[in-house]
Amino acid sequence: MRTPVKLAAYAIGLIAVFGAALGGGRLVGPTAAAPPAHGSMDATGHSDSHGDSHDGAAVPEPPGGLQVAQDGYRLVPVTGTLSTGAAEPFEFRVLGPDGAPVTAYTTSHDKELHLIVVRRDLAGFQHVHPTRRADGTWSVPLAVAAPGQYRVFADFQPAARDDGLTLGVDVPAPGDYRPTALPAPARTAEVDGYTVTLAGELTPGRSSKLTLSVRKAGAPVTDLQPYLGAYGHLVALRDGDLAYLHVHPDGAPGDGRTAAGPEIVFHAEVPSDGAYRLYLDFQHGGKVRTAEFTLTAGHTHS
Ligand SMILES: [Cu+2]
């Protein structure tokens, strides 16, 4: 959980904006940098260090996840390939501006580092939490379902910074890559007996409210369980370059005003028109599941 002051810095970054309190979906400029009316909002996946704004028109910086190195930090895979069979350790390091592996992190949503793995065609999404050895090497048992080129995102905050970073690197799973087409836009996703519906539109450059509703066997789920400090985690990846956006919901478990379902409300801001793949992680009955949607923002260019 970051402080409101840090959150304000994120708001200037303009990549992800959360909270209706920030102004009902209008473009968020420096005037919105005041602490939001409610806490427990968080954004990762970009840095504000180059964010700049003038006269209320903030200049957005590039989305997170597109770079292997940023602001002196670099994501370095130790393991060169991903396993398509049994899980094998996938290891990597984050090098700091001094060239040494980073060993001091600020915990965000219960973890020092979140690792997202997805194939370049947006299939095979995984969100895992590696463990760190004292020398700074991260390791997680990992297997992917099918061969192909994968994008690995490390979402973290070095202790030396007051904001987070998302670095991305391509790692192949050797074999016969059979890319799949992006699933057509849909408002309903089925996962493991759960039906998740999506309401809301993504408007490029504006905070957009997305409401996800979870049902099981037709009945609203009202006892969602907190997962990493929230009732849901939403990752959005842009089709075409896998620009990365990680959004946390409005409200937090135990804040006295946030229901444990069936609705989970997010405010997300995408940087451009285009198709996005949305991945909602939610926990119920002791198990984390991921519901996936394709959503088109703005005009379609087909
Ligand atoms: Cu995570």
Q: Using the mean position of ligand 1's atoms as its centre, give its distance from the Cα of residue 160 in Å.
A: 20
Q: Using the mean position of ligand 1's atoms as its centre, give its distance from the Cα of residue 155 in Å.
A: 8
Of the candidates 72, 89, 2, 88, the residue with the CA atom closest to the CA atom of residue 44: 2
* Contact assessment for residue 277 and residue 124, using Cβ atoms and an 8 Å cutoff: no
Query: Does residue 203 carry a pLDDT above 80?
Result: yes
Structure tokens at 240: 């075409």
Query: Does residue 300 carry a pLDDT above 90?
Result: no
Q: Which of 32-46, 88-102, 118-132, 207-221 shows the lowest mean pLDDT across its residues?
A: 32-46
Of the candidates 203, 194, 202, 206, the residue with the CA atom closest to the CA atom of residue 232: 194
Return the DSSP state at 64.
B
Over residues 58-87, the mean pLDDT reads: 92
Q: Using the mean position of ligand 1's atoms as its centre, give its distance from the Cα of residue 165 in Å.
A: 13
Q: Using the mean position of ligand 1's atoms as its centre, give its distance from the Cα of residue 127 in Å.
A: 6
Place of tokens 């959360």: 18
Q: Using the mean position of ligand 1's atoms as its centre, give its distance from the Cα of residue 176 in Å.
A: 29
Of the candidates 165, 104, 113, 168, the residue with the CA atom closest to the CA atom of residue 139: 113
Query: Does residue 1 carry a pLDDT above 80?
Result: no
pTM (predicted TM-score): 0.80
CA 118-123-124 angle, 5° bins:
60
Q: Using the mean position of ligand 1's atoms as its centre, give its distance from the Cα of residue 126 in Å.
A: 10
Reported confidence tier of residue 299, pLDDT bands at 50, 70, 90: confident
Query: Does residue 210 carry a pLDDT above 90?
Result: yes
Pairwise pLDDT comparison (65 vs 31), residue with the higher score: 65
Q: Which of 106-120, 189-203, 247-261 shows the lowest mean pLDDT across its residues?
A: 247-261
Q: What is the pLDDT of residues 226-238, one digit of tens each?
A: 999 899 999 999 9
Q: Using the mean position of ligand 1's atoms as its centre, give its distance from the Cα of residue 109 in Å.
A: 7
Helix, strand or coil for residue 138? Answer: strand
* Contact assessment for residue 177 and residue 145, using Cβ atoms and an 8 Å cutoff: no
| pLDDT, position 60 | 63
Reported confidence tier of residue 58, pLDDT bands at 50, 70, 90: low
* Contact assessment for residue 175 and residue 125, using Cβ atoms and an 8 Å cutoff: no
| pLDDT, position 52 | 43
Q: Using the mean position of ligand 1's atoms as its centre, give its distance from the Cα of residue 37 in Å.
A: 25
Q: Using the mean position of ligand 1's atoms as its centre, give its distance from the Cα of residue 296 in Å.
A: 25
Over residues 291-300, the mean pLDDT reads: 90
Reported confidence tier of residue 301, pLDDT bands at 50, 70, 90: low
Q: Which residues surround ligand 1, an ion (CB under 5 A)?
A: 114
Q: Using the mean position of ligand 1's atoms as its centre, give its distance from the Cα of residue 281 in Å.
A: 9
Q: Using the mean position of ligand 1's atoms as its centre, give its distance from the Cα of residue 54 in Å.
A: 34
Q: What is the pLDDT of residues 143-156, one digit of tens each?
A: 999 999 999 999 99
C-alpha–C-alpha distance, residues 60 and 65, integer Å: 15
Q: Is 227 exposed, middle or buried (0-12, 13-18, 19+ CB in 10 A)?
A: buried
What string of DSSP letters covers 240-283? TT--EEEE--SS-TTSSS--SSSEEEEEE--SSSEEEEEEEEEE
Q: Using the mean position of ligand 1's atoms as its centre, give its distance from the Cα of residue 58 in Å.
A: 29
Quick one: residue 126, left, alpha or beta (phi over 0 = left, psi -120 to 50 = alpha)? beta
Alpha-helical regions (H) of the chain: 4-13
